[in-house]
Structure 1
């Protein structure tokens, strides 16, 4: 019989994170740009008290353990209070992406069976549009004080600050099983309806611990951290948990995510570390370069959601900012890998270091990964073989919410990404399995093509998609959005690829567009582009 350890059995609960921050970093600031337009400041101690009041308030509304409470909100202090007040009480915090189509928003709220939905003032028109299609929602709570409530609304509204003010905060965080559901996030639904990933308190606390590690996101109490990645996008990659866990100052940017607004907050609040998708950094870099600015404290950023173009990594480095590539998915809470150099890489020439930093990186403790061929056989970690990427770990999904069929294959989750893994364990995504271009039986990485194009000085954004070819089956078409006022021809762009990729990888044609469609999470929407160019005839075809 096994000899059992004799240590305390304390459940890993989300409430313990905010309790720890309030008790040990109580005076540390949380700064938020509000929808009201001003900057709001308070501390972890204030946040924990108001989270307890919120837990009392939702109990008074009849919310019980396991009930889902929805949010349609930006990154701000009230949203943070909902993260802790709802989950900490035993209910489920369900962040809804307000950038989705109204039909999808209604579908997600109904599928989750949200009892109440909390929303920022910005989203009042959205709420008025979807409320009639969400009969199960008992009440809509506007995240505002009484003076900012609308005089008239098409939907009966509750006022957030009224709910908080009615409570005394004399509330003790309940203890319960750490496997209890804590929060619910839906995939961005690039194929079919969005699917729900239901996280537990245990999976969230473990993910928060691991993501704060030095070679993961590297969060510390000495940092000032501004998540640009929205709190409605996989819980802002876990930062609303890992930042209080280490006691760092937290800066929440609200709705203003343009380059000028983000730069102003970075400088004013002495931000050291941030996280977001490449499209956000594109806007920030343009603002900084156009106005000949520098960063005084900002020294590292995590980029995920899609691969950061090498030109972006170089531009940030020139401004003294280290880019940490990270990779994950909604189904992984989301963090799987982080790209930091090993000690022996410090001696390498800069160009070789950059080559490593362009990869998605090594797994963080808790996640395991492998690549497999079409028959499920594991492929070698030689940096050349590429196959379907599979993962497993304590914060990786086992089932989708309200769906009995498990997506797992032999206990591993198939990510839908195609990747290589080198002998040092650095993984590099070469494509989504649905985006890879199969030309004459050989695979071409659309990401590599896009990275080369994005480095051209006239290119603002580039997407590579496959087009039908009678001989080769598929060939790459490059879709380009030029920088304002910049000029470049098809011939110049195709010539630019020479010597940078294999000759047969060079796109067959270039199509110039005024806009490249983005998903609700800021990724390029290749599904729409493929639809738009489905009848496109390549010159050589």
Structure 2
């Protein structure tokens, strides 16, 4: 027997439609790449998104067509999220920080028909255009006054000119909720980037799930500023979560340095933010140097890579801002877990609470996870046993776009994340390493993440990475690679002594190398493949 409820397919456009109807005067504030701030409301954004929808149809964009973006977090990019998906096309957010050859591969693999780009990326786009023949039209996300005088980009026009002739009377169509709405590619650190094709259903369910109190906990009382880029896993769902809840949305554009972010946090009275650890390390350094303090910012979410405990403690103790740890990946839309204590854990001593919150957290409803050994057998949730992390759920990838290769799924349909993790009795998952980064030394497994987190707790260390290097006796041993803080000195002996008593003796690195900077992926993660190349053949003392 079937239920007798109305059938209303989940659609991305309905999120903005809801905000425009019930939070019509709530603001969206956008810092523009061409300079200045732009301020309007959800009602305005909805009208312009409908104008965009009609403009796309005029260009011949059809359901299922891919529409690319090379853009920062701005109001125009926000409109593209809804205008493109709203007509049944696919919004393909392209990460401009990828290597040029990866960008060419992604644009051609996705077969984008139209590409929208910010003024910042004009030189990049002019280099890409001749080798991306599938793109029929290029649209500059600005007014006509910013169009280059002499450009060979085919069909180039400004975004404002594109919208200007259209009325805002478009009616969003209804279609199957499993229709694709957006496309993001992985960073491709070990292989070509892979496309993850999200559906309207998966996106709306993800937005609902991350809004829960034990996830990110967004409400109409919040002023939200996602530092995480809209070209990186749809800004972790923030552009969908904010209109769903009616939260004021502040979009920082290209200004991601400490001073620019602090100015927006204060002027717009931001309460809630999100970003990768490198962003918060930079902001913390700015706050310490300037002596500034936040007046409204209360919490932020850290993901993308493990948040160093020292960073978490500094934000809470020095700045009065709570960091909530979360875990996910492009293939999980991305949020899979969030670190929030249970009621019975509030009685734990403060140190025990902090230790639990430093883990990646508890799984959200809708996602399931388990850890398995090399034979695929499930391991106990005792916080000690560690194994390969597997996940499944309605916003977890089933296939990569254009790549019908089931190798990333187990025989019974679990996605192999590539992470090595523990799960404790309370359900808190803790990433101990990536499977390709864990160091196997003399039969023991050493977590590079644990060593990195300890290293950056040293007052003279700005950033650290740990990789395994060959050892005749132990097969592999950890090498610590460190960027010193400006104006600070620290020796190899001091750093190695810093580990004593904090980890097992066999886990202490064998050597330290000091560098000016560490390589990062396009999403801000440490690029350990590059470090392993740079230190290939390294001879331990």
TM-score band, normalised by the shorter chain? over 0.9
Q: Cα deviation per residue 1:383-437 (whole Å; 9 max; x = unaligned)?
A: 0000000000000011000111222102100000000000000000000000000
Q: Residue 346 of structure 1: CA displacement?
A: 2.0
Task: List aligned pairs for 1:160-171, cutoff 5 A.
Answer: 160-171=159-170
What is aligned with 1:4?
A: 2
The structure 1 segments of at least 4 consecutive aligned residues displaced by more than 4 Å after TM superposition are none
Q: Residue 344 of structure 1: CA displacement?
A: 2.0
SS for the counterpart of 1:64 is: coil
2:342 pairs with 1:342: yes
What is aligned with 1:81?
A: 79
Q: Residue 357 of structure 1: CA displacement?
A: 1.0
SS for the counterpart of 1:81 is: helix
The answer to whether the Cα contact below 8 Å between 2:144 and 2:157 also exists between their aligned partners in 1 is no
Counterpart-to-counterpart distance in 2, 1:461 and 1:422: 29
TM-score when normalising by structure 1: 0.99
Counterpart-to-counterpart distance in 1, 2:13 and 2:488: 52
SS for the counterpart of 1:93 is: strand
Counterpart-to-counterpart distance in 1, 2:121 and 2:99: 13
Counterpart-to-counterpart distance in 2, 1:103 and 1:518: 17
The answer to whether the Cα contact below 8 Å between 1:11 and 1:178 also exists between their aligned partners in 2 is yes
Counterpart-to-counterpart distance in 2, 1:6 and 1:256: 50
What is aligned with 2:453?
A: 451
What is aligned with 1:131?
A: 129
What is aligned with 1:309?
A: 308
User: In the alignment, which of 31, 34, 37 is matched to residue 35 of structure 2?
Assistant: 37
The answer to whether the Cα contact below 8 Å between 1:102 and 1:129 also exists between their aligned partners in 2 is no
2:458 pairs with 1:460: no
Q: Cα deviation per residue 1:43-66 (whole Å; 9 max; x = unaligned)?
A: 000000000000000100000000
The answer to whether the Cα contact below 8 Å between 1:103 and 1:130 also exists between their aligned partners in 2 is no
Counterpart-to-counterpart distance in 2, 1:110 and 1:456: 45
What is aligned with 1:412?
A: 414
Counterpart-to-counterpart distance in 2, 1:538 and 1:154: 54
The answer to whether the Cα contact below 8 Å between 2:327 and 2:337 also exists between their aligned partners in 1 is yes
Q: Residue 491 of structure 1: CA displacement?
A: 0.4
SS for the counterpart of 2:509 is: coil
Task: List aligned pairs for 1:319-398, cutoff 5 A.
Answer: 319-398=319-398
Counterpart-to-counterpart distance in 2, 1:163 and 1:509: 58
Counterpart-to-counterpart distance in 1, 2:158 and 2:252: 22
What is aligned with 1:72?
A: 70
Counterpart-to-counterpart distance in 2, 1:149 and 1:45: 28
The answer to whether the Cα contact below 8 Å between 1:70 and 1:118 also exists between their aligned partners in 2 is yes
SS for the counterpart of 1:114 is: coil
What is aligned with 2:231?
A: 232
Q: Residue 153 of structure 1: CA displacement?
A: 2.2
Q: Which blocks of at least 5 consecutive residues in structure 2 are unaligned?
A: none
What is aligned with 2:477?
A: 475
Q: Residue 449 of structure 1: CA displacement?
A: 0.3
Counterpart-to-counterpart distance in 2, 1:503 and 1:291: 39
Q: Cα deviation per residue 1:454-484 (whole Å; 9 max; x = unaligned)?
A: 0000000000000000010000000000001
The answer to whether the Cα contact below 8 Å between 2:107 and 2:132 also exists between their aligned partners in 1 is yes
Counterpart-to-counterpart distance in 2, 1:328 and 1:360: 9
Counterpart-to-counterpart distance in 2, 1:154 and 1:209: 44
Q: Residue 291 of structure 1: CA displacement?
A: 1.2
Counterpart-to-counterpart distance in 1, 2:356 and 2:148: 52
What is aligned with 2:171?
A: 172
Q: Which blocks of at least 5 consecutive residues in structure 1 are unaligned?
A: none
SS for the counterpart of 2:107 is: helix
2:183 pairs with 1:189: no
The answer to whether the Cα contact below 8 Å between 1:95 and 1:232 also exists between their aligned partners in 2 is yes
SS for the counterpart of 2:476 is: strand
2:157 pairs with 1:122: no
Aligned alpha-carbon RMSD (Å): 0.7
